[in-house]
Structure 1
Amino acid sequence: MTDPLVDKLALLAKQRNIRICTAESCTGGGVAQSITALAGSSDWFECGFVTYSNAAKQSMLAVPEKLFITDGAVSESVVTAMAIGAVERSNADISVSISGVAGPGGGSPEKPVGTVWMAWYMDGGEVETHCFLFSGDRHSVQVAAITEALKGLIKQLSVAAK
């Protein structure tokens, strides 16, 4: 049984002939895994970048090193660069990027455990970003982030279809 959100995303992507990619850090490829659990997703899912380290974000997605220094990996600027880089380095039309603090450690007063930044980018359009604060353990934070990433992709494709 697939996720109903993935079913809805598949329908929208196929209707619009849109190819999707992901750029994930704290979810470790969980969004891509959710998508590819649906048979036939190769018709509309292009690829997934799992860029856990800052070096991977730089080399695979062209995220400028200075952003890690000025804003940190869990930031609006980094997920924006990740989302744009994913589309530019693939044959996808739209991307979602995710970077966060899933826990149990790694949090700070400014970015507590559960802080997750996401960005959605459609080729040639504007980047939409959002910061979430999820509760629970590491798994709960990751599952919540995957769900919100899928909802955001659906929103992007629904808005673009109008």
Structure 2
Amino acid sequence: MALPGLVTTCLSPPVHYAICKLGFENTDTYDINNILSGNGEVCWQAVTEHVCYLESDQSVDYIKSIRSLGPVCECVNLYFKSLTKEQFVIQYASWFHWTNCTEVFLEVFDVLQYAQATEVALGLMKLTSCLERALGDVYLLKGNDCPFLLRDLLASEQLADVFGQAVVST
């Protein structure tokens, strides 16, 4: 039985650190206008500038990248929390039609605004599932035998052809 106030986790200490602490270490602030365009689209150049690579083999340095991307994500989070549901629907609802799960994205917007951490985690899992299914459908437009794992799907040439390498790499 867990003691009150004592949070237990099944995550290993390094994974717990990467998920729960690492992105919050850097407290820089960013202007949302440098991350999102006037119509709400992500400026991928601004995001990819925060992805760091190892000098040895040019693979992603996940620790440095998470640390650098943390304030960018916080900026976007604060922006979305500043929107009303009506503003969010007007700005973004039409962008989710390709997923065939528009209502799930709108439902999770509410959860992200006001909910407890558990509800937020469950909402993000729902979104991930919807997004994975939609990306799998896009993959099948260009290829056969959709990868089983999301990471393999995101690393596929088929999705890079459709969305661009910068988008699927980030």
Q: Give me the TM-score of the superposition, normalised by structure 2.
A: 0.32
More helix by percentage: 2
Radius of gyration: which is bigger? 2
Larger RCO, structures 1/2 (Cα 8 Å, 6+ apart): 1
Q: TM-score, normalised by structure 1?
A: 0.33
Higher strand share: 1
